[in-house]
């Protein structure tokens, strides 16, 4: 079942509903308030991972993504320590970063000059540093808005209830599979002024300063939030800012200057279709 089907079901049946994958019952959570309540406020009750059969056979219950209990806690601590010490994201983060960098270069076209002007004014020609982010609010807003709209991981990996729980008036037995629908959070019409449009102002206040939004959950939330979030955010910022510092991106010769098609292709993640663009090297400091 596609993310679009789940999204339509959430509009029809509300923020908590049940679907069946064959005989398997799955409870879907939709909308910012419901997903946050479950993953954050009820973190213990919804904090276990419902391992896929193929993952059980391949990993034998090990691995930070699919394990539970003390084993998961120990592996999570170990993984976070190594991510901090060595900055290594491995394949899962690499796929996400690659897909989002591609999306960044496609979707922001109409904001090209504004981003480049801010980078030139704040950084000039020196090397970009992570600390520059706080002084580049518009650039940071464009990156966040791209992640929100790109929505390349529309559903969090399946959770399961660790105990019997009553949630929003519904009784869920221990071991119930739960699927948080991240698409419904990132496109929640009660949280975003223009949920289906590319609108960097979602992350800016009236004075142009960057504003963090609680409904920004491309990495999920709660106990099972993506371990590589900090690394991915750092790399996306450095890659994107460095590219815009040294290149101007334009449509390829013969390609009409129009908004790129962003209908995603389905794979392990959702990625935009391929586009032909030109990267023009700046032989002098950015504009």
User: Tokens representing 259?
Assistant: 């908004």
Q: Output the DSSP codes for the chain.
A: --HHHHHHHHHHH-SEEEEEETTEEEEEE-SHHHHHIIIIITTTTT-EE---HHHHHHHTT-STTT--HHHHHHHHHHHHHHHHHH---HHHHHHHHHHHHHHHHHHTGGGHHHHHHHHHHHTTTSPP-GGGGGG-HHHHHHHHHHHHHH-SS-BPPPEE-SS-EEETTEEE-TT-EEEEBHHHHHT-TTT-SSTTS--GGGGB-TTS-B---TT--TT--GGG--TTHHHHHHHHHHHHHHHHHHEEEEEPTTS--SPPP-PPEESSSEEPPP--EEEEE-SSS--
Question: What is the distance between the alpha carbons of residues 47 and 44, in angstroms, rounded to a whole number?
Answer: 5
The answer to whether 226 is annotated as binding is: yes
Q: Which residue shows structure tokens 């935009």? A: 272
- Crossing angle of the two packed helices 90-107 and 229-246, in degrees rounded to 10: 40
**Binding-site residue set:** 226
**Binding-site residue set for heme:** 226
């Amino acid at each position: 079942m596609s993310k679009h089907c789940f999204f339509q079901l959430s509009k029809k049946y509300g923020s908590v509903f049940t679907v069946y994958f064959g005989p398997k019952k799955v409870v879907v959570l939709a909308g910012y308030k419901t997903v946050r309540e479950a993953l954050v406020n009820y973190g213990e009750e919804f904090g276990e991972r419902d391992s896929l059969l193929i993952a059980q056979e391949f990993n034998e219950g090990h691995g930070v993504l699919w394990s539970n209990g003390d084993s998961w806690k120990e592996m999570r601590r170990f993984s976070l320590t190594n991510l901090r010490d060595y900055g290594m994201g491995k394949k899962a983060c690499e796929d996400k970063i690659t897909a989002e960098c591609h999306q960044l270069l496609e979707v922001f076209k109409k904001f090209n000059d504004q981003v480049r002007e801010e980078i030139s004014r704040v950084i000039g020609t020196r090397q970009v540093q992570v600390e520059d982010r706080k002084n580049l609010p518009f650039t940071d807003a464009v990156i966040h808005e791209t992640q929100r709209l790109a929505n390349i991981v529309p559903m969090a990996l399946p959770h399961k209830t660790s105990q019997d729980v009553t949630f929003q008036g519904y009784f869920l037995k221990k071991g119930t599979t739960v699927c948080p629908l991240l698409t419904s959070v990132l496109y929640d019409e009660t949280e975003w002024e223009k949920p289906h449009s590319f609108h960097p102002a979602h992350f800016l206040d009236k004075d142009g300063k960057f504003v963090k939004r609680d409904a920004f959950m491309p990495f999920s939330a709660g106990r099972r939030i993506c371990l590589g979030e900090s690394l991915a955010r750092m790399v996306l910022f450095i890659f994107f800012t460095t590219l815009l510092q040294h290149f101007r991106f334009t449509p390829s010769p013969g390609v009409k200057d129009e908004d790129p098609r962003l209908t995603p292709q389905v794979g392990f993640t959702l990625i935009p279709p391929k586009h032909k663009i030109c990267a023009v090297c700046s032989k002098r400091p950015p504009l």
